[in-house]
Structure 1
Amino acid sequence: MSCSKEEIERKRLAALQKRQKVLSHGSNSNQNTPVKSWPGQIGSPQPCSSKGGFKSSMTSNSNRSHPYSKPKTARNEENNVPVGKVVSGTVYLISEDRFEVNPSEFCAPLINIFKSLPSKSYDSKSKLWNFSVNDYQQLMSKVAPLAPHIVLGPIPPYVLRVLREEAMDPNCVDLSPVEATLRNKLMPFQAEGVRFGISRRGRCMIADDMGLGKTFQALAIASYYRHNWPLLIVTTSSMRETWQSKIQELLPSVPMMNIATLTSGKDTQFVADKQTEVVIVSYKITSMYQDLLKSKKFGVVIIDESHYLKSHKAQCTVALSSITRQCARAVLLSGTPALSRPAELYTQLALIEPGFFSSYTEYGKRYCDGKQTNFGWDMTGQSNLPELQIILQKRFLIRRTKEQVLTSLEEKTRETVLLDSTLLQHSDTDKGLCDMAEAYKSSRASEKQAALITYFSESAKVKIPAICQYIRQLLTDAQTQKFLVFAHHRAVIDAVCQTLDEENVGYISIVGSTPANTRAELVDRFQHIDSCRCAVLSITAANSGLTLTAANLVLFAELHWNPGILTQAESRAHRLGQRGGVRVRYLLAPRTADDLMWPMLQGKLNVLNDVGLSRDTFEHTTMKHQESKNNISQYLTPCTIPKNKNDYIPGTNIRKDSIKSDVTNDVTNEQTQNGDDVDKSFLDDDEDDELLANLDL
């Protein structure tokens, strides 16, 4: 089809008029409200290219005189945002005076804004930009007009409040109101902790390393605020008498008749008495007598071993939340505030300052990498840990390690001992353990808990012969003095005790069923009687509240899935009063659950280090091998090993029939749930570790 010269000229003029209208309309829309645009439209926003630049609908330079060519007009780079695609990003603190921005992808308009800020700094390692907190409002105001194409998640208001607030200077706190008997016994770093608690108006957490005297600091803070009493002390059942004796020792002005320990209904009248100044109660009893405790109108509360309050829905947590809300002062104590993940901190922080975080969900999304699934929110991850650490240190807690404050304390060394594989009872269960390992690796997240429990339980039985033989080797070593043995399953504990009996070695044993009033006697025996060389302990029942500094060696016959539990157990020996260094040895067996749990522990401990709640690491432990002397079985194939007529476990004097062995996995699971082969303390959710019901993966 051909057109005349007149038609061509008419169409050209019409196109020019149309172009002029578009330009005029686009100019007005920039000043008022945005209009819908399309790719290639003149004056419309252009999408980000893969290299971060902006695509042009006209790339040729040879036709600039063409009526449809792109006009030479200045454009606002900051308003050239992607169309139909949202660039998101998070803003978080990396120090007290700087924040970082992490965008979902590269986008030039955002980079241009970054470059316009005076405090800009680019980290070549992380490939992210960071700025002074003084430029935060300027950044957000410049990014706001780019919405909804570019959206940055702001720093929460509570974080900004923490940065702006001016707390009381701890150095200005006068400790003269603290009872002199206690004040004169405080070490300098303990006095510093007391001043911190008072500067936080008596609502704080003392998170010092185990063995640094958190009890002294808590009682000193309580003494400072004695005008707010009565005082409530919440602790584990095994520590109630310890707290009572410490009050009598450090606060002699408190009459013994004014201290009540609530253990059952017969104590309720004593607790309600107006003359009662101090009430000591266990976690479990707290939820049982919540109304009685609320009616007492406590002004000061001390919560010992507060890391047990992991679930914000537990009855004990709900009861304590109600009680602490009406208290003027609340002091939490824990050497391991989070045993393995940031989610465990929320409940404790909410007790110290209710309402600081808007909700558990918001806390989880910010610091636990919270994700909504078909089964609810998954809060098992971690995110923005440097920011969380800043909040904790400025607002909630003080933490010191032994290395920081006890320069005279000998160091603690960790070793892993690879057990002799020829002593492992693999013959009948080898294939079963392999199947359990595969079942764990291939199972869904909701099934991993049960799979690891089964694998862990069966691994314990396999390790028993090698563990007992290793202890025999220790006893023959003249350099071995007093030592601790931590184990998890009752079968392992019983086997170790039987080995010590056969060797005529004096020892004590503390498990979940050990009465609280006899534990102090057992500890005193181990500490002061030379013939008592060993303490056999349940990991969960005896990992806290005991001082066993007479030992210089700590053995872990089994692992635990929470690194905080293990480090607490180590500190039974490595604490104030220890003379000489402490060696910690973890007995690991190949082709057992140890292969999965040891790397898991290392990863969890790294998370706690990132949030500033730990400085431990399991990654640089030295490795040794168990001695294998005169063991003919290592030269024989399994089918040629002669069976001894008394059917003893190789390397021990323990009969196989003395160790109950489950025939099927169903029986194993049933016995594990019923606690037949597990220390009974494991099944006490409120008092100990919510053991098998809340396995951290």
Structure 2
Amino acid sequence: MEEEIAEEQRKRAEANRLAALAKRKALSESTSILTNQHPNPWKLFKCRKVSPGHTTPISSKPVNTCSINPPPTLQPTILPEKFRVRLEICSPDSFSVTPEAVLGFPCPGEASCLEKLRGCLSNVVPSHYTQNHGGGKACVYKLRDYDTVLRCLKNYKGIEYEEIPWGTLNVVERLSHSFTAGRWIPCRPEHLSDEKVDELIGKLPQTLLDALLPFQLEGVRFGLRRGGRCLIADEMGLGKTLQAIAIAGCFKSEGSILVVCPAILRFSWAEELERWFPFCLPADIHLVFGHQNNPVHLKRRPRVVVISYTMLHRLRKSMLEQEWGTLIVDESHHVRCTKKRSEPEEIKAVLDVAAKVEHIVLLSGTPSLSR
């Protein structure tokens, strides 16, 4: 019985195979007839195989059975080599010329860039070469040759350049006269001569003068030479507070001192002021903690007022109505551009008060290169 079933299955499979072959043959014949009557231009043709020993010359054209021409081969765009130079101040009397790559263009390389710069600036003798922040080489020129270097770069079409900001260049050029001469030369209306500086330092308490280290005394002279308008950015623990107190003490006869600092530092400032200002009694140093401590409510004006950034903003109107002789801003890196909602108004309050004060001392031990 099982053998009869197996034989029947084999016959059925063979019949199905023969029917499929007959159907494929009929379909192939009908397709061939249709193709001859209506050739299909989109039909793919089979590429001819090339034997290993046979090569087709570049000049020969391949046979194309397709009626549509193949798309043209796109040639790669070759960009010219390009670089730019950045000019920046590197000392009180010199500036550097640093080659750097231009985005999207191939750079010829550092050696080639320096060679082109030497050819472009052949009329200007560089002072020396230095290493830039990226580890590359930069040419250094004297500040007196800046206009000549800039003129040569403008006339040379193959090099882009980035100038030193005019404001920075103007300030450095003015202050570089003292560096070149080796002595302090006042160049702005608020600047003070060395004779006036010695006179002001002589008015400080002897205990304060004895406590100043040589570099701290030089920092005090630096601030006084600039009319009490300076930034002291020594590292933490080097006595920025003592230097600021000394500078403010030289102008104590010109009005009250306003100290703006983070809230946590108010007591520290009060202790330092009492220690180094023997002429200040505890009642002469007023700390502001809230609206009830507003200095306008006091019968006698204090010699020193210590206030936080937040309270200065809240008491902004009344603080602007008062006259201040000296403004000390501790942790001055807080005066910056920010995205926080609360800080812009605090910063604006500090700037508004600073606009009305003649002597301003900024203190910061925190680098803020990007602000």
Residue identity opposite 2:162 in structure 1? G
- The corresponding residue for 2:369 is 342
1:250-291 deviations in Å (ceiling 9; x for gaps):
212124333221111112255665522211111211111111
1:99 match: 95
Alignment-derived partner of residue 153 in structure 1: 162
Tell me which residue corresponds to 1:200. Answer: 226
Structure 2 residue 355 is matched with structure 1 residue 325: yes
Secondary structure at the aligned position of 1:211 is classed as coil
**Any idea what SS the aligned residue of 1:115 has?**
coil
2:130 corresponds to 1:139: no
Q: Which residue of 1 aligns with 2:334?
A: 308
* Equivalent of 1:251 in 260, 267, 277: 277
- For the structure 1 residues 209 and 157, does the alpha-carbon distance in structure 2 shift closer, same or farther, using more than 3 Å as the test? same
Secondary structure of the residue aligned to 1:343 is coil
When Rg is computed on C-alpha atoms for both structures, the one with the higher figure is: 2
Contact 2:295 / 2:301 at 8 angstroms: preserved in 1? no
Letter in 2 for 1:217: Q
Report the Cα offset of residue 188 of structure 1: 2.8
Question: 1:98 deviation in Å?
Answer: 3.2
Change (3 A) 1:97 1:214: closer
User: Aligned equivalents of 1:279 and 1:215: distance in 2?
Assistant: 15
Alignment of 1:678-693 (within 5 A): none
CA change 1:48–1:235 in 2 (3 A) is: closer
Q: Call closer, same or farther: CA 1:122–1:298 in 2, change over 3 Å.
A: closer
Offset of 1:323 from its aligned partner?
A: 0.7
What is the deviation of 1:321? 0.8
Change (3 A) 1:273 1:142: farther
1:286 aligns with 2:315: no
SS of the counterpart of 1:152? strand
> What is residue 225 of structure 1 aligned with on the other side?
251
Q: In structure 2, give the amino acid aligned to 1:245.
A: E
**1:243 Cα deviation (Å)?**
1.9
Counterparts of 1:350-361 in structure 2, within 5 Å, are none
Partners in 1 of 2:283 and 2:137 — Cα distance?
65
Please tell me the residue identity of whatever aligns with 2:126. Answer: S
Greater shift after overlay, 278-287 or 254-263? Answer: 254-263
The 1-side partners of 2:258 and 2:362 are apart by: 12
Residues of 1 paired with 2:296 and 2:143: CA distance?
Answer: 54
Taking a change above 3 Å as real, the CA distance of residues 269 and 140 of structure 1, as seen in their structure-2 partners, is closer
Letter in 2 for 1:307: H
State the shift of 1:145 in Å: 3.2
Question: Residues 666-691 of structure 1: CA distance to partner in whole angstroms, max 9, x if unpaired?
Answer: xxxxxxxxxxxxxxxxxxxxxxxxxx
Q: Are the equivalent residues in 1 in contact too, given 2:312–2:346 (CA < 8 A)?
A: yes
CA contact (8 A) 2:309 2:350 kept: no
Please say if 1:126 is aligned against 2:153: no
Amino acid at match of 2:95: F
Helix, strand or coil: the match of 2:91? coil
Q: Aligned letter for 2:245?
A: L
2:323 matched residue in structure 1: 297
Whether the 8 Å contact between 1:260 and 1:270 is mirrored in structure 2 is: no
Aligned CA distance change for structure 1 residues 242 and 164 (closer, same or farther; 3 Å):
same
Q: Distance in 1 between matches of 2:152 and 2:162?
A: 14
CA offset digits 1:597-618 (Å, max 9, x no partner):
xxxxxxxxxxxxxxxxxxxxxx
Size of the aligned set, in residue pairs, is 259
Question: Aligned pair in 2 of structure 1 residues 201, 123: CA closer, same or farther (>3 Å)?
Answer: closer
Scaled by the length of structure 2, the TM-score of the pair is 0.61
Question: 1:221-258: CA deviations, max 9, x gaps?
Answer: 11101122211011222222222232222212124333
SS in 2 for 1:196: helix
Q: Supply the RMSD in Å over aligned alpha carbons.
A: 3.1
Change (3 A) 1:48 1:129: farther
Q: Deviations over 1:148-182 (max 9, x none)?
A: x6432212222322332245479763111223342
Shift in CA distance, 271/185, structure 1 to aligned 2, threshold 3 Å: farther
Matches within 5 A, 1:52-131: 88-103=84-99, 104=101, 105-106=107-108, 110-119=117-126, 126-131=136-141
Determine helix, strand or coil for the equivalent of 2:211: coil
